[in-house]
Structure formats: C-alpha cells, structure tokens
Amino acid sequence: MIAQYLAIDRPDLVSKLVLAVTLSKNNNTVVDVIRNWIELAEQGNMKRLVTDMAEKMYSDVYVKRYRLFMPLLAILQKPKDTQRFIILAKACLTCNAYDELNKIKCPVFVIGAQQDKVVSGEASKKIAEQLDCKLYIYDKLGHAVYEEAKDFNKKVYDFLMG
C-alpha cells in the first residue's frame, strides 16, 4: 500500500513498481479481516489471532498440510508488540489511493492471488485495470503467495530487470 503512495507522491524516486497482493481502496473483505485481527489483539487472544492470520493468508492446501503445527506457530509467530500491531492494522484500513493511481507514471506489475482471503483477488484486478498494466493472478494461492509460489521472486525479478 505504501509503495502506491510513494509512486504517486514521489514519481522521481520510482522507476518501476511491483504491487503484490495489495489493494488501493478498502473492500469488505479487508475491513472484516483486519477489524477481527484488531479485536483479537486487543483481547490478547494471540493464539486465535495467529491461527486466523495463517488461515486467511495461506492457501487451503498449505493450512491443511501444516494444521498440526498451528499451536506452535501461535507461540512462535505472535506479534512482539501488540500495540504496534494494532496501530499498523488500523493504518491498513486507511488506504485510499485508487482515485490517484493515474498519477503513477512508471511501469507497474500487479501480482494477485485469486484465493486471497485478506484483500481479495479482485483488489489486484481493480488496480491493474485502473493502471492498465501487466497483471498476473495465481489461481490457487492466497495472500501469502510471495511465500508459497516457487516462481514469485523470478516473476518480480524478470519484471524489474526486463
């Protein structure tokens, strides 16, 4: 989300831009998910927060494969600073760059995930449509596509170096 604002406000600093599993304006999916995460964090329910984050971010296949490790993940991956997590989560709910995307003048590559349960796959499609730019959608992956897709880094590298 921040990269969009950087490219809009300081085009002199951005020569190419990759926007992966993000959005340019909030939708019902992200509002519901982030509000739930904030509520869980405020309640101190870190086990449920981390479990819900994993379930929302990773593909169903990934979650099913690692379900037995979720309790351990909840211990190891909980936010170190709950207040900081809440502040950052609330900041995510303020993104509204959609109407200014036309100010982005550099080449842009949008990568989305059809099964994204955090921002939705549709969010990536809307950005690419608004920018009339290159779009790649992973059909069977979710928000953590950058971790699950073996070719993710190559796609980004190829775009940036091409």
Distances (CA, A) of 59 to 10, 21, 77, 89, 130: 35, 13, 18, 21, 27
The Cα diameter of the chain in Å comes to 48
Cα gap 56→150, rounded to integer Å: 20
Quick one: pLDDT at residue 81? 87
Cα gap 152→159, rounded to integer Å: 11
CATH number for the domain harbouring residue 139: 3.40.50.1820
User: Of the candidates 52, 38, 51, which has an alpha carbon nearest to the alpha carbon of residue 82?
Assistant: 38
Which residues pair with residue 25 across a beta bridge? 96
Consecutive sets of 10 residues in the chain, 162 residues long: mean pLDDT of each?
96 97 97 98 91 92 84 70 94 95 97 97 97 97 96 98 93
**88 and 122 within one domain:** no
- The residue out of 92, 111, 146 marking a domain boundary is 92
Domain count, the chain: 2
H or E stretch at 45: none
Distances (CA, A) of 78 to 28, 45, 82, 102, 158: 25, 10, 9, 38, 34
**53 and 12 within one domain:** no
**153 and 75 within one domain:** no
Quick one: pLDDT at residue 59? 93
Quick one: pLDDT at residue 52? 93
Query: Which stretches within the chain are classed as H helix?
Result: 2-9, 28-43, 46-57, 60-66, 70-76, 82-92, 121-131, 145-148, 152-161
Q: Note down the domain range covering 116.
A: 2-27+95-161
Q: Are 112 and 121 in contact (CB under 8 A)?
A: yes
Quick one: pLDDT at residue 40? 96
